[in-house]
Amino acid sequence: MSSVPERSEIDEEYTWDLESIYATDDDWEEAYEAVAERVDELEAYEGEATEDAETLYAVLELRDEIMREVATVFSYARMRRDEDTTDQEAQAMTARAQSLAADAQSAASFIEPELQELTREEFEAMVDDVPELQTYDHYVDDVLRMKPHTRSSEVEALLADLSEVTGATGEVYNMLSNADMSFPTVEDPSGEPVEITQSNFTNLLKRPDREFRKEVYEAYFDEWSDVRNTVAASYKNSVKADVKMARARDYDTAREAALDGPNVPVEVYDNLVDTVNDNLDKLHRHAELKRDALEVDELRMWDLYMPLTADEGPTVEYDQATEYVVDALEPLGEEYRSRVDEGLDSRWVDVYESEGKQSGAYSGGTYDTQPFILMNYQDDIASMYTLAHELGHSMHSELTREEQPYVYSDYEIFVAEVASTVNEALLTSHLLETVKDPHFRKHVLNEFLERVRSTLYRQTLFAEFEHEAHRLEEQGEPLTADRLDEIYGGLKERYYEPAAIDDRIAREWMRIPHFYRAFYVYQYSTGISAALAIADGIEDDGQEAAESYLDFLRRGSREYPLELLRIAGVDMGSAEPIGRALETYGQRLDELEELLA
């Protein structure tokens, strides 16, 4: 019988070590109260932030100290909630931490408008007076760049206060999809009941019995159908908030506003969509190969996740996966590899699915904590790749925080997906070089192809969907459930031309939580393109390329994303890396087709 265990049933070594942040929730409460009292200290500087160099340095340092503490308080509360999204106490802690973060942002909101009253020359003169201000040089450059889209301190404070409200639709969606929704239990071919969950849905669609896959697919999407209007209203209002916030900051479109934050030209987005659409023939070929491998007359949506090997993949237990991943990172040097190994032994990872646990996977933690990785490990190759992926994020954070001051300790999403996908590419190469079992090798190649399909192609499809949804809202057209289905279904038909598209798959947009972070998903596609180019360079040029890549990881956000990627040897201002990644995808298709033959 398949069942999801209670958290208490999982061995401690496979859970993350939140006690390394706060030993108890009471300690969290003390930290919360302490930093909440400090927030008001910022307000004493309002109107005086740029009075002189000493004051400016003091207010920037104070802000960073407070934000560091707030981040840790919030991170702990969020991870406590994610252990069990039905835990009311943890939900309350998270809500309080979100309010605290909003209060801190509001209290600090005067700083950037006041900085924008300076000229570049005036700031440089301040650096002459207080050399420590040089640390903030790139930050100030970014603030001055955003002057045309920054409002008065009063309006900025209001917008900061409204952040809880404008982000509420995502919170509502999260509670609905993870805490309140439950999915049916179906019988597998042996007669055993299997509970469908958010975490195991795609894994169940890899089972060899086609009728079972169909039953899982239909049961899952029929459950979403019951909340269709609720989710449509939630997403519609999320899009409205994006559009209104963009207009409040004097942008023509929400997409322009989202991309201007990290200083990414909209041409990068368009290059991605155009290049992927020019290469849909490769995706169509993948679908046709899958249809032939499965020996079916027509490829259906419940067949998409089946491997080209047309059978279940090998079992890869977690402990074996950690060995494979650590060994695969050898090209990045012994220091990088050993730190990953030590992190795995230090309970960075919350490994297994449990009742009420947040679905999916992510890498978390703050400047003052160790990394933390949420997983829902399923003992398969896909989960092993997800582990490699999240460890890439965690090591990016570790190296950045070790090298950079707090102000540059984070990094833009545009570059965030590079580190994770480089790890995946290195894992693919390592497994193909060292594992001789033909069955395993076929599934490794299939995993690579599926990750390109689901990242480069699928996320670009998502990018087209949200661009069109925002465009319609900006033109005043209503975003109803039917209209959203129509947009998504049309894209699915174009991307998967050789397959049969049904009404249920047109509702797939409902299950994508990333849509509540506007114009986020395209960066998965640009990220995998850049990562494959970097991984190729490391394999071709060895240590020199690896050092350039590690230098990129250590820079955090000290430069703009496109500049950072040039350090690693990739120019994402052009379509070349995207075309190169799609060419590699085509070559891997050839390899697996030949292996299967």
- pLDDT, one tens digit per residue, over 430-441 is 999 999 998 899
What span, in angstroms and rounded, lies between the C-alpha atoms of 100 and 88? 18
Report how far apart, in Å, the C-alpha atoms of 299 and of each of 197, 323, 515 are: 24, 36, 27
pLDDT value, residue 278: 97
In a domain, 382, yes or no: no
Q: Is the pLDDT of residue 464 over 90?
A: yes
What span, in angstroms and rounded, lies between the C-alpha atoms of 52 and 468? 47
Residue 155 burial (C-beta neighbours within 10 Å; 0-12, 13-18, 19+): middle
Kindly state whether residues 11 and 112 are assigned to the same domain: yes
Domain limit, last residue, from 118, 151, 166: 166
Least confident of 12-16, 347-351, 353-357: 353-357
What span, in angstroms and rounded, lies between the C-alpha atoms of 166 and 39? 22
3-class DSSP assignment, residue 50: coil
In a domain, 224, yes or no: yes
Kindly state whether residues 32 and 126 are assigned to the same domain: yes
* Residues above pLDDT 70, as percent of the chain: 99
What span, in angstroms and rounded, lies between the C-alpha atoms of 34 and 28? 10
Helices (H), 313-437: 318-328, 334-345, 381-403, 413-434
* Residues above pLDDT 90, as percent of the chain: 83
The mean per-residue pLDDT over the stretch 106-122 comes to 93
pLDDT value, residue 307: 85
Q: How confident is the model at residue 2 (pLDDT cuts 50, 70, 90)?
A: very low
Q: Which two tokens stand for residue 115?
A: 């900085």
Kindly state whether residues 139 and 14 are assigned to the same domain: yes
Q: How confident is the model at residue 1 (pLDDT cuts 50, 70, 90)?
A: very low
Helix axes of 576-596 and 266-278: crossing angle, nearest 10 degrees: 30
Kindly state whether residues 134 and 200 are assigned to the same domain: no
3-class DSSP assignment, residue 523: helix
Kindly state whether residues 140 and 218 are assigned to the same domain: no
Q: Which two tokens stand for residue 338?
A: 């050993």
pLDDT value, residue 302: 96
Domain limit, last residue, from 147, 166, 185: 166
pLDDT value, residue 547: 96
Helices (H), 435-559: 438-452, 458-474, 481-495, 522-541, 543-554
In a domain, 544, yes or no: no
Q: How confident is the model at residue 163 (pLDDT cuts 50, 70, 90)?
A: confident
In a domain, 531, yes or no: no
Q: Which domain holds residue 149?
A: 7-166
In a domain, 540, yes or no: no
In a domain, 36, yes or no: yes
pLDDT value, residue 329: 97
**Catalytic annotation on 192?**
no
User: Which residues lie closer than 8 Å to 219 by C-beta, 6 or more apart?
Assistant: 183, 184, 186, 196
> Minimal CA–CA distance to 538: which of 391, 336, 403?
336
Kindly state whether residues 48 and 146 are assigned to the same domain: yes
Mean pLDDT computed over every residue of the chain: 93
Q: Is the pLDDT of residue 340 over 90?
A: yes
End-to-end Cα spacing for the chain = 36
Kindly state whether residues 120 and 263 are assigned to the same domain: no
The mean per-residue pLDDT over the stretch 263-288 comes to 96
pLDDT value, residue 586: 93
What span, in angstroms and rounded, lies between the C-alpha atoms of 222 and 287? 25
What span, in angstroms and rounded, lies between the C-alpha atoms of 312 and 54? 64
pLDDT in tens, 486-510: 999 999 999 999 999 999 999 999 9
> Minimal CA–CA distance to 254: which of 244, 263, 262?
244
Identify the active-site residue in 390, 417, 424, 464. 390
Task: Pick the more confident residue, 401 or 199.
Answer: 401
Q: How many domains does the chain fold into?
A: 2
pLDDT value, residue 154: 80
> Minimal CA–CA distance to 261: which of 143, 357, 127?
143
Longest dimension (CA), the chain: 77
Kindly state whether residues 97 and 149 are assigned to the same domain: yes
- Conformational region of residue 177, where left means phi above 0, alpha means psi within -120 to 50, and beta covers everything else: alpha
Strand partners, 364: 372
| Amino acid symbol at 235 | Y
The pTM score is 0.83
The rounded Cα 198 to chain-centroid distance in angstroms is 17
Least confident of 149-158, 277-286, 403-412, 465-474: 149-158
Which CATH number does the domain housing residue 276 bear? 1.10.1370.20
What span, in angstroms and rounded, lies between the C-alpha atoms of 98 and 469? 28
Which CATH number does the domain housing residue 134 bear? 1.20.140.70
The rounded Cα 325 to chain-centroid distance in angstroms is 20
Q: Which two tokens stand for residue 368?
A: 């003052």
In a domain, 417, yes or no: no
pLDDT value, residue 288: 94
pLDDT value, residue 357: 93
Q: Which two tokens stand for residue 393?
A: 């994020």
Cβ neighbour number for residue 19 with a 10 Å cutoff: 10
User: Which residues lie closer than 8 Å to 310 by C-beta, 6 or more apart?
Assistant: 208, 293, 294, 295
What span, in angstroms and rounded, lies between the C-alpha atoms of 379 and 352? 9
Kindly state whether residues 78 and 155 are assigned to the same domain: yes
Kindly state whether residues 52 and 156 are assigned to the same domain: yes
3-class DSSP assignment, residue 581: helix
Q: What phi and psi values does residue 17 have, to the nearest 5 degrees? A: -100, 75
* Spatial contact of 272 and 525, defined as CB atoms under 8 Å apart: yes
Q: Which residue has the tokens 């960073």?
A: 64
pLDDT value, residue 64: 97
Provide Rg for the chain, Cα atoms.
24
pLDDT value, residue 123: 97
Give 124-191 as a 3 state SS string. Answer: HHHHHHCHHHHHHHHHHHHHHHCHHHCCCHHHHHHHHHCHHHHCHHHHHHHHHHHHHCCCCEEECCCC
In the chain, how many H helices and how many E strands? 26, 5
In a domain, 152, yes or no: yes
pLDDT value, residue 165: 79
Q: Which two tokens stand for residue 288?
A: 């046709």
Kindly state whether residues 120 and 198 are assigned to the same domain: no
Q: How confident is the model at residue 361 (pLDDT cuts 50, 70, 90)?
A: very high
Kindly state whether residues 59 and 141 are assigned to the same domain: yes
